């Protein structure tokens, strides 16, 4: 019979325990990317990686209002951006136009809003550094009633698309003089 010395058994148990903790910890990180503010459920704030020297990036998130009162997303921030605006995108003829959203985005009771590439989104302006894939960057979402909610924006691939819709989010040629 092949006997394993007690020290080796303990070492193997420690390695198994450590592996289990790592798996549990990584599951916790994935779950920790959803947030709540009162009756608002905030899912997966994210941005795309940017090329070096880029001065703008888009911010995306899903917000569900599970309450009985409306609220409104009125702004936000990203620690690596000088300022943040809410923008809409719409087709005018054959041209995609982007414009600031005045007054924010309403979230009616029981409804979900999605800020996604090719549609409404947060515009992070005057970036201080390159956004690198895999990073988590501190920011906020600002609601009319729920107030300021701290979140982290996960930086995904430069080619990432919205989870279900896909779409492009091309800000080239867009001037930010406002």
Q: What are phi and psi of 19, to 5 degrees?
A: -60, -40
Going from N- to C-terminal start, the domains of the chain cover 34-156
Q: What is the pLDDT at residue 9?
A: 52
Q: What separation in angstroms does the CA of 50 have from each of 4, 9, 86?
A: 52, 48, 19
Residue with tokens 């309450």: 67
Whether 175 has a pLDDT exceeding 50, the answer reads no
Whether 83 has a pLDDT exceeding 70, the answer reads yes
Determine the average pLDDT of the residues in 22-41. 66
Whether 90 has a pLDDT exceeding 70, the answer reads yes
Q: What is the pLDDT at residue 92?
A: 87
Residue with tokens 């009756």: 39
The CA R_g of the chain, rounded to the nearest whole Å, is 21
Superfamily of domain 34-156 in CATH is PCu(A)C copper chaperone (2.60.40.1890)
Lowest-pLDDT range, 29-33, 108-112, 115-119?
A: 29-33
Q: Give Cβ neighbours of residue 141 (< 8 Å, ≥ 6 apart).
A: 37, 42, 45, 61, 63, 73, 75, 76, 148, 149, 151
Q: What is the pLDDT at residue 25?
A: 40
Given pLDDT bands bounded at 50, 70 and 90, which one contains residue 21?
very low
């Amino acid at each position: 019979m092949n006997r394993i010395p007690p020290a080796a058994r303990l070492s193997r148990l420690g390695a198994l325990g450590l592996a289990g903790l790592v798996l549990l910890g990584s599951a916790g990180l994935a779950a920790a990317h959803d947030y709540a503010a009162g009756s608002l459920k905030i899912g997966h704030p994210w941005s795309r990686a940017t090329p070096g020297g880029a001065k703008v990036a888009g911010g995306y998130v899903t917000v569900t209002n599970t309450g009985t009162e409306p609220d409104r997303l009125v702004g936000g921030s990203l620690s690596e951006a000088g300022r943040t605006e809410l923008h809409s995108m719409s087709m005018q003829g054959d041209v995609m136009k982007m414009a600031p959203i005045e007054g924010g985005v309403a979230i009616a009771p029981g409804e979900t809003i999605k800020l996604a590439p090719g549609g409404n989104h947060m515009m992070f302006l005057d970036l201080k550094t390159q956004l690198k894939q895999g990073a988590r960057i501190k920011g906020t979402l600002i609601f009319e009633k729920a107030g300021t909610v701290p979140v982290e924006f996960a930086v995904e691939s430069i080619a990432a698309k919205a989870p279900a819709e896909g779409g492009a989010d091309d800000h080239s040629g867009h001037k930010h003089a406002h």
